[in-house]
Amino acid sequence: MSSTFTHQFDTALFKGTITVNTGLFIDGQWVDSVSKETIDVINPVTGKKLTQVAAGDANDIDIAVKAASRAFKTSWGLKTPGHQRGRLLYILADLIEKNVDAIAATEALDAGKRFAHAQREVQGSVDVVRYYAGWADKNHGKTMETSEEKFAYTRHEPIGVVGLIVPWNFPFSIATWKIAPALATGNTIVLKQSEVTPLSALLLAALVKEAGFPDGVFNVIPGYGSTAGQALIEHQAVGKVSFTGSTFVGRKIMETASKTNLKRVTLELGGKNPVIVFDDADLDQAVKWMTFGTFFHSGQVCAASSRIYVHEKVYDAFLERFVVAANSIRQGDGFREDADQGPLVSQTQLDRVLGYVESGKQEGARLLAGGTRSEGTGFFLKPTIFADARPDMKIVREEIFGPVGVVSKFKTEEEVLELANDTQYGLAGYVFTQNLNRAIRVSSTLEAGSVFVNSTAATAPQVPFGGFKQSGQGKELSEYALEAFTQVKAVHINLGMTL
């Protein structure tokens, strides 16, 4: 049967032991995969193997979907009133909060995050789960006035079994963004966690079981996208897929859904997010926000502020301060107090980002900082800044997903808005100005699902998050996310109509 991974932490930031079951979690039980195959889990800081987890494939997905289908029909869905679903979600939120440090340590170890950042992310997940716990008995339909001879109303009903596919950059927090509204509205879940960072979702499964959710309501299958992920998308008993990841994979998911059972699809995809720094901006604050927004989690963030437009009057001053800030970032193990930034998640990702750096050099962008691997072990890349980038450059057009900031100059508001919107993406946008009218005007014109004024991305459970154009469709977080996990039924009752 399945085994466990135990790790002892003895650092300045966290001292303690975590134990993670490394099997698949199906129907309330920990099991090996049918194939008995495993996936190696690598520590990004050292490049060495941490442990291995069971590798699910189509056979395991089928077993998990069948378990979720049974649970939906017998012990969840319409069988469990909303207030009871909410009560269990409140219990789950309390358990996550009780284990914030252990979950954060697992996330930092697995994904190469700073421990302090992981703590804030997990605490944010507590807030998300509690937010949707409160929604569980409040997502009502409506009554409609038609005539005195008819009573008509709508019901918001769960879809059934939903497949959730979660990326490697925020494996715990994005998982909770999806499972909380899905469970609150009565769906059952098969979660396909990334093979790169599978550990925190397995901890989450243990907490779901401890909270008392019925067996089969929540199932976790670590596995490769080409096998487990594809099987989940193709499965005829899955009524909805929610995916966070690349635009390329998002397109394939929509294609597969159209060729199978037309399951509903929510996609939160990539971004090449524009930042506009006007000449009246607080330059010191703008540089601080850009340093965080560009290099946080080594730039492995879909909403990263990686495409920066600075007004010509403050361009040189901004670059000077931005380079100083980038060069002052201290890299290292996320459990060290003196580490500001961790590594990229894998050798594959490091090679990919280095390819973009080389492209920037070849196409003539001016390299002002970084651009090379850091000395020592692990997948570290120095914070990198390119200046004088042209709109046609690959580093301007494509999502890099690494610690690379690309800076360009602009003269007028009209010019920069055209540059900012000249992209296939539309996830987020950032505006730095002290002029309120300009802030509102530019925010309204940017083609992005979220716009942040005088800050970089800071999500909240009450506010929707999701992109325009090829950055996806549908919303995570807020009341809007409930729509993604429910279907509306209209009921017509004849009170006196005759033929």
**Annotated active-site positions, please?**
268
DSSP of 123-169: HHHHHHHHHHHHHTTT----EEEEETTEEEEEEEEE-SEEEEEE-SS
- Structure-token pair, residue 162: 């939903």
Beta bridge partners of 8: 17
Q: Please tell me the distance from the alpha carbon of residue 327 to that of residue 255, in angstroms, as a whole number.
A: 44
| Exposure of 50 in the CB half-sphere (CA atoms within 13 A) | 31
Q: Give 226's contacts (C-beta < 8 A, 6+ positions apart).
A: none
Beta bridge partners of 409: 310
Q: Is 148 exposed, middle or buried (0-12, 13-18, 19+ CB in 10 A)?
A: exposed
Q: Please tell me the distance from the alpha carbon of residue 13 to that of residue 9, in angstroms, as a whole number.
A: 9
- Structure-token pair, residue 152: 């008509």
Q: Please tell me the distance from the alpha carbon of residue 374 to that of residue 364, in angstroms, as a whole number.
A: 23
Cβ-contact 259, 235 below 8 angstroms: no
CA distances from 328 to 140, 320, 331, 464 (A): 52, 13, 9, 34
Q: Give 325's contacts (C-beta < 8 A, 6+ positions apart).
A: 287, 288, 290, 291
Residue of 251, 305, 236, 298 lying closest to 273 (CA atoms) = 305
For 454-467, b/e burial (b = at least 16 CB within 10 A) is ebbbebebeebbbb
Q: How many CB atoms lie within 10 A of CB 97?
A: 16
Tell how far CA 463 is from the center of its chain. Answer: 15
Cβ-contact 266, 474 below 8 angstroms: yes
In 203-345 the beta strands, taken as DSSP E runs, fall at 218-220, 240-244, 264-268, 274-277, 307-311
Residue identified by tokens 């604050």 is 285
